[in-house]
Structure 1
Amino acid sequence: MDMTEHLIYEPPKSAAFGHSPRRRDPLAAWEASLQFLARHTHGAFRENTRTESVGSLGYGGEKMTFPSLQRAEQLFGQPVESDNHWYRWNLSPLQLPAAVELFFQAHKSHRKTASSFSFYPVFDFRWLGVPDNAIAGSSLGFVIDDYQGIFLQPEFVFPFAWNDLQHREWLSGVLADSPFRPKEQYFKRAIPTKTRNRYRTLKLPPGWIGAA
C-alpha cells in the first residue's frame, strides 16, 4: 500500500459514543444514513454484528415493558452467549433489516427507562467520485439502542491532502450531505513517518475547510 499524505476524520476518544444524527427521528436518521452511503460510497456491512437484548427481568428485577428477548430469539435463534441480564447474537448483513425492525418496535413500545435491545453495525466502504484505492478505506459505525436512539461513529479516510483544492468541492458536497454534522476540529492530516511504515497525525489550522 502506498504511503501518502491524506486527510482523515478522527473524533477523539471522548466522543467515542458517536455523533448525534442531524435527523432526530431514529427512522429518518437511519434512512438518511443509508441514503448517504448509497450516494457517496460503495461497500458492505461487516459480518458478525454484535447484537444484545435484556431479559424479561431487566437489570435489577424490574419488569421490561417490551419483550425484546423473546422477539430476538424468534428472529435470530438462541443467543450465542449470555452475561447476567444480557443475551448476545452475532448477525450477518442479511439479518440487519430484522434487527432494525425490532429496534423500531422496541423504541416505540417500551417505557424507555432502560435499554432492552441494541446492536452495532459497521459499514466499510470506499468513496465514490474520487480515486480511492491507494490507502486504507473508511467506515461508518452505528450505535443503535432502543433507549438512547441512534448514534454515528465515523472513521473517514479521504484519499487526498487537506490542501488539495482539486477535490474541495467534492469534499464540501459530501460533508453537507452527511447524516451528522462534522466538526472541523476532528479533521487531521495523516503524514507518513520518516520510516514510511506508519502515519502520524497533525492538527489543521482553524478555518482551513472554508479556505479557497
Structure 2
Amino acid sequence: MILKVAYLPEINTNTGLFGLSDLLDQVERQPIGCSPWKEYACADVQAGFAIVQGKDCIALKYYVREAFSNPVYFNANDPVYRDSCVEFFIGFNTDAGYYNFEFNNAGTCLLGFGTGRERKYLPKSLIDQISYCRSFKSKGMESLIEWELTLVIPFEVFCFHTIRKLEGPSCRGNFFKCGDDLPEPHYLAWNNITTDSPNFHLPEYFGLIDFV
C-alpha cells in the first residue's frame, strides 16, 4: 500500500493544536481497517488517521470509535499498548531501523527505535517535545466512545537521523490500533500483516509513505 502525504509549510511546531486539529479534519482520512488476526476481530472498534508534513514536523491525527477506553498508564515509555492505543511506525530510506510511536488516549507516549521487537526506548526529553491535544464524545445509546488525538512530532525527535524535509517515496511505515488488556483485545493495521499471531514489529509488512 502507498500513502501520499501532503506538504503544508504553514504548519510548524508552533501551530496551535486546536486549529491544527480542525485543519487535519479537512485532510483525507485513512482507515486503519485491516484485522490480521480474526480471533481478535472486534466490530465495535473503528480507527483512522490523517497525516501531513509541516515545515519542521509531522502532524498526525487519529480518530477512534470503541466501547472501552479508560487509560491506565500515564508515564513516558509505559506499556501503553495495553491501554486503548494508537501507533505509528516509520523508517527512513533503506535504514533497517525504524521508530515506533505508541500513544494511549491520555496522550502518554512510548517511543522506541530498533530493527525488530527488541527496542531501544528513547528518553523522556524527546517524548516531551511531542505536543498533543485530545477530545472525547460518547455515542449515547450505543454506549460507544469516540476519541481523537492530534499530534505534532518535531523532526528533532527522530534522533538517529537528520531530517529537514521529507521528499518522495523515501519512507516506509504502518499505523495501528490495539488494546492488549482491554475487555475485548484487538489489533488493527493500516497495511495488512499475514502472520499467525499478533506482532506489529514486522517491517516487511510496512507500506510505502510518499511525501509529495
Q: Same fold (TM over 0.5)?
A: no
Instruction: Give the greater-gyration-radius structure (CA).
Output: 1
Higher helix share: 1
User: TM-score, normalised on structure 1?
Assistant: 0.26
Q: Determine which structure has the larger strand proportion and give its number.
A: 2
